[in-house]
Structure 1
Amino acid sequence: MHRLPKATPLQHVARIVLGLFLLFAGISHLTFARGDFHAQVPDWVPADKDFVVVASGIVEITLGGALLTLGRFRVPVGWVVAAFFVAIFPGNISQYVTGTDAFGLNSDAARGIRLFFQPVLVLWALWSCGVLGAIRNRDTSSLTGFKR
């Protein structure tokens, strides 16, 4: 029988903080920062910007809630959260390339520095949810969170 890799107290706290961060970001998509999030939707996305902002906000709320409540499934949740951060990265790149001001990022330097934080979020999700430990242990059932 395969067991879920044990999380350290620091990983647990980091997962909770990331969950709260995603809940806050998701709520802000739907309320006070909606216009700022429009700036991150690249023009080449074939959907209404407001729809993309609302949909991504709902996804962020869902992922934040999952990080806070689905500890038993934290490894697969970690994979999904990391994939989400990768999926939204083109929006950050677009904001940099187009020079669009939003979130107080009103210079190329500020927008450029922000690009370096996206990989940090990916690693944060993978580490805090135990994905990196499961990879290190090469335990395939731990990588998915499901028993064979």
Structure 2
Amino acid sequence: MTVPQTGARWVLAGAMMFAGVTHLTVARKEFQAQVPSWVVDNTPLDEDAVVVASGVVEVMLGAALVILPKERRRIGAILAAFFIAIFPGNIAQYLDRRDGFGLDTDRKRLVRLFFQPVLVAWALWSTRR
């Protein structure tokens, strides 16, 4: 691993753990507003359960990036898959025009969609030789 890759992995780990903790604490309501209605309508989960589950997963993945260095390639692939799995929620936020985290215009919500592939690439690049 190069120094930039290691640094990027650690930054990503910190960002994931921070995001996960905020899912569980201070930004819980904000994240609930971003859960797509089709998830709640088609599963036994409510918005809070989805937010809590995703927060726990984010904390676990962030921690795993740091504490399981021999598994970093596998963790990176899982994290990339996680980013892909939550992307439909970002699309739903755009299509349903749901505000959250300062994304209060169609343009801001649309621009955000283009950052998801960056996260996928970041997860993969920072965990590969």
TM-score surpassing 0.5? yes
Confirm whether residue 30 of structure 1 aligns to residue 24 of structure 2: yes
Match of 1:120 in 2: 118
Superposed displacement of residue 69, structure 1: 1.1
TM-score by length of 1: 0.83
Where in structure 1 do 4 or more consecutive aligned residues deviate above 2 Å? none
RMSD: 0.7
Identity %: 57
Map Cα deviations across residues 33-57 of structure 1 (whole Å, 9 max, x no partner): 1111112211011221100000000
5+ unaligned residues in a row in structure 1: which ranges?
1-6, 134-148
Alignment of 1:124-143 (within 5 A): 124-130=122-128, 133=129
Larger radius of gyration: 1
Aligned residues: 125
Distance 1:93 1:34 in 2: 20
Query: Match of 2:15, as an amino acid?
Result: F
1:39 corresponds in structure 2 to 33
Q: In structure 2, what is the equivalent of residue 71 of structure 1?
A: 69
- Aligned counterpart, 2:109: 111
For 1:38 and 1:93, the matched residues in 2 are separated by: 15
User: In the alignment, what sits opposite 2:5?
Assistant: 11
